[in-house]
């Protein structure tokens, strides 16, 4: 029988530390806590339950904290969970998946109720669907480090976590490029940003960290479309809309804007002709975008019903036309920033984040 180890990671605050310890003890896990700059609650909880500890009075960076904790792990497979994430479902079937897969992504859900949190809930549902698709295609492009399981021997073959902003994205890409299989199972509730300022801070980190590892592995990734195709349609639907607009665009119509004003025709007739060109051009682009949205939203609605998801379907138009494009633009900007930074030979620095 395979031995089980859980590593709970925290920075300062305990979060769901005690709830996760109780949850994991009932399921026979060896538990290790990796905490940087621990507060009194963290120290009290670990002493109360006699948990193996891997503390640091200074912030090491998450990748380092994870690697330090793994050194103490005795299990054949390791569950990693952040202290702001609460495990609520993890049965024997989920654990048995490691006989079929090398790692298992745990489904995350948002328990918030305000407008932004409900939008982020759609985000996390898309992450779940993306992971399911990737599992079907026997691929992996990313792991959400808030909660996942991996075989210890696989983690060792990959030489553990690397010094990256997104150590989880980096690990996921290496799993995918290495031909390892990643499944999906279990359920956890995780905390989401509650205001737009906090959201921008989180997404800047995610986008820069993701861009860093994508650029580093770009050639290998492009050679394996099954690694990234599942992500485009589900996680970045705005990109599909952008490409649809380009495909259905009529560049000849744009040339008419330059040609028509110089024709020897009555101004009224020319104005009507130019208006007709404008309306046709607008309708064509709008049609392609609406078709893209209809396909995506229909897919989301059907899959949310099948998976018994509680996402707010009324927010799908806002997500598609505003939230997703904003997130997509942040990612594109991050790619440019990281590319320029790498060319200059500089390192990427983030406020309030240690690598």
- What does the pLDDT look like over 72-117, one tens digit per residue? 999 999 999 999 999 999 877 777 777 889 999 999 999 888 999 9
- Tokens 């099954």 belong to 226
- Specify the pairing of strand 52-56 against strand 77-82: unpaired
In whole angstroms, give the CA distance from residue 289 to residue 281.
13
pTM: 0.86
Measured over the CA atoms of residue 49, residue 54, residue 57 and residue 58, the dihedral's sign is negative
pLDDT in tens, 28-67: 999 999 999 999 999 999 999 999 999 999 999 999 999 9
Which pLDDT does position 95 carry in this prediction? Answer: 75
Which pLDDT does position 137 carry in this prediction? Answer: 81
- Tokens 């075989």 belong to 151
Name every residue whose Cβ is closer than 8 Å to that of residue 146 and which is 6 or more positions away in sequence: 81, 82, 84, 85, 108, 188, 190
Minimum mean pLDDT among 76-85, 129-138, 158-167: which range?
A: 129-138
In whole angstroms, give the CA distance from residue 55 to residue 42.
10
Residue 214 — pLDDT band, cuts 50, 70, 90? very high
For residue 9, report the phi and psi dihedrals to the nearest 5 degrees.
Answer: -105, 135
Greater confidence (303 vs 257) lies with 303
Which pLDDT does position 272 carry in this prediction? Answer: 75
Domain positions in the chain are 1-83, 86-235+312-355
Residues 190, 109 contacting (CB under 8 angstroms):
yes
**pLDDT at 145 exceeding the cut of 90:** yes
Q: What is the DSSP letter of 224?
A: -
Tokens of 300: 């989301």
Which pLDDT does position 230 carry in this prediction? Answer: 66
Q: What is the DSSP letter of 348?
A: P
Tokens of 352: 């309030």
Which pLDDT does position 171 carry in this prediction? Answer: 96
Residues 39, 11 contacting (CB under 8 angstroms):
no
Provide the CATH topology of domain 1-83. Answer: Rossmann fold (3.40.50)
């Amino acid at each position: 029988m395979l031995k089980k180890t859980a590593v709970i990671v925290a920075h300062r605050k305990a979060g769901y530390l005690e709830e996760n310890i109780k949850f994991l003890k009932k399921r026979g896990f060896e538990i290790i806590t990796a905490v940087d700059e621990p507060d009194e609650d963290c120290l009290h909880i670990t002493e109360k339950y006699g948990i193996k500890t891997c503390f640091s009075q200074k912030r090491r960076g998450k990748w380092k904290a994870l690697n330090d904790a793994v050194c103490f792990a005795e299990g054949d497979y390791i569950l990693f969970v952040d202290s702001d994430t609460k495990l609520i479902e993890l049965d024997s079937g989920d654990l048995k998946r490691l006989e079929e897969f090398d790692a298992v992504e745990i489904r995350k859900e948002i328990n918030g109720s305000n407008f932004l949190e409900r939008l982020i809930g759609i985000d996390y549902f898309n992450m779940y669907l993306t992971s399911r698709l990737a599992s079907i295609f026997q691929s992996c492009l990313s792991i959400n480090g808030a909660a996942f399981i991996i075989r210890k021997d696989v983690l060792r073959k990959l030489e553990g976590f690397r010094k990256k902003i997104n150590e989880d994205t980096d690990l996921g890409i290496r799993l995918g490029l290495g031909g390892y299989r990643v499944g999906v199972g279990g359920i956890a509730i995780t905390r989401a940003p509650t205001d737009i300022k906090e959201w921008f801070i989180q997404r800047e980190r995610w986008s820069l960290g993701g861009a860093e590892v994508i650029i580093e592995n770009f050639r290998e990734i492009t050679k394996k479309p099954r690694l990234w195709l599942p992500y485009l349609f589900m996680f970045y639907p705005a990109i599909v809309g952008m490409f649809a607009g380009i495909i259905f665009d009529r560049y000849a119509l744009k040339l008419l804007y330059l040609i028509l004003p110089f024709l020897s025709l009555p101004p009224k007739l020319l104005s009507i002709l130019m208006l007709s060109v404008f309306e046709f051009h607008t309708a064509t682009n709008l049609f392609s975008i609406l078709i893209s949205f209809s396909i995506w939203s229909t897919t989301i609605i059907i899959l949310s019903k099948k998976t018994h998801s509680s996402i707010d379907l009324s927010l799908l138009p806002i997500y598609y036309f505003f939230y997703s494009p904003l997130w997509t633009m942040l990612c594109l900007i991050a790619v440019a920033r990281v590319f320029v930074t790498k060319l200059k030979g500089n390192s990427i620095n983030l406020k309030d984040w240690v690598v």
